[in-house]
Amino acid sequence: MKKTGFIWDESYFWHQTGQGALNINSGGWIQADTHAENPETKRRVKNLLDRSKFIKELQQIEPRPAIRKEVEMNHAPVYLDRLKQLSDAGGGDAGEHAIVGPDTYEIALLSAGGALTAVDAVMQEKVKNAYALTRPPGHHAEYEIGAGFCLVNNIAIAAKYARETYGLKRILILDWDVHHGNGTESAFRSDSDVLFISIHQENIFPKNRGQIIYTGEGDGEGYTVNIELPAGTGNEGYLYTFDKVIEPIVDQYQPELILISAGQDPSRFDPLGRMLLTAEGFYNMTARVKALAEKHCNGRLVGCHEGGYSTAYVPFCTLRVLEALAGKQSGVDDPFDQGYHEGPLYQNQVEAINKVLKIQKKYWDL
């Protein structure tokens, strides 16, 4: 019986973002504290897997570094040179809040390589499906600039690699990070062979991206599905989005491989988002995507970790994602589940979805 692959490397936790508060580094009026994108959110995922022994249900796979040619499928050589220079010099900013520390360049190549390792393991049927605990994250990184703690776009590189290496013609990238996956959208805006669906909180980061009216261009028109949801959307609103938008579109697209940009920052405790998903909500979303993968592509599914800034809650949300992928229970209760009904469906959420449907009806039978 094949297991779920789990790709991680100790050096993922060694990428340094410096001291700060929330999303900015210290200086000015900010006393030194821990920057939001710090290793603990992800390290504690691994710790919980070890402590609960759920790690034994997974097949740990060591990532290989991405080679420069692979990263250049999605990034300008001049940008990668700059990233390396900053990294070699001990750090800097490769764009807008794209923090580089010592050795970050090498770690970023290993992070992208983690996504490629996951794709290979799934495509070569060595595992049932796979999850890469990639850090630094990737989905905000554009062709020649980093943004939002992202330096190279792991998932976009993975999709391009899968397309080239395995000759795939229809790849789905589903991005449930609370922020819009602008870098991934840019990478495939003119392509019909990658369907990009981003479900995100309206009007947070980045500015002026992720609006529902943007649906791609040229050959890619109709293959970008932006779903903006109002702050306060929780478990029911997300599942309603799967029912009304995501599942009908994916059923029509019939992907050959599904990639998830798994940001755990729509959780109810995230300091950088205002959504209300519980760990159970992440379980349910993953189970829905897994069912789509089983229906359309022999279960071929890869998750890549993106954001998620609650050091307390990201581990539990990610554990539930892994449970759903593996089809096994850890026996770990969510200690933050206070037993009341979280995130009911409100009228403003239904209205937001209706607006998306109105736009996407032009391209899909909805």
Binding site for Zn ion (CB under 5 A): 177, 179, 263, 265, 307
CA distance 366 to 350: 15
* C-beta of 255 vs 263, nearer to Zn ion: 263
In this structure, what token pair is assigned to residue 98? 């794209």
Query: Which of residues 303 and 307 has its CB atom nearest to Zn ion in the complex?
Result: 307
Closest distance to Zn ion from the beta carbon of 356 (Å): 20
Torsion sign, CA atoms 20, 319, 295, 157: positive
Instruction: Output the residue with the shortest Cβ distance to Zn ion.
Output: 307
Rounded Cα gap, residues 360 and 49, in angstroms: 39
Nearer to Zn ion, 54 or 205 (CB): 205
* Catalytic one of 75, 97, 140, 180: 140
Q: To the nearest whole angstrom, how small is the minimum distance from the Cβ of residue 81 to Zn ion?
A: 27
Could you confirm whether 140 is annotated as catalytic? Answer: yes
**Would you say 265 or 323 has its CB closer to Zn ion?**
265
C-alpha 102/C-alpha 119 separation (Å) is 28
In whole angstroms, how close is the CB of 204 to Zn ion at the nearest point? Answer: 9
We find the least distance from the C-beta atom of residue 42 to Zn ion, in angstroms, to be 13
Name the residue nearer to Zn ion (CB basis): 150 or 245: 150
Minimum CB separation of residue 210 from Zn ion in Å reads 11
Place of tokens 């009908």: 248
Do 334 and 280 meet the contact criterion of CB atoms below 8 Å apart?
Answer: yes
Distance CA 360, CA 97 (A): 32
d(CA 208, CA 206): 6
- Minimum CB distance to Zn ion smaller for 139 or for 296: 139
Task: State the minimum distance, in angstroms, from the CB of residue 148 to Zn ion.
Answer: 7
Report the nearest approach of Zn ion to the CB of residue 57 (Å). Answer: 27
> Across-strand partners of 226?
198
Active site amino acids: 140
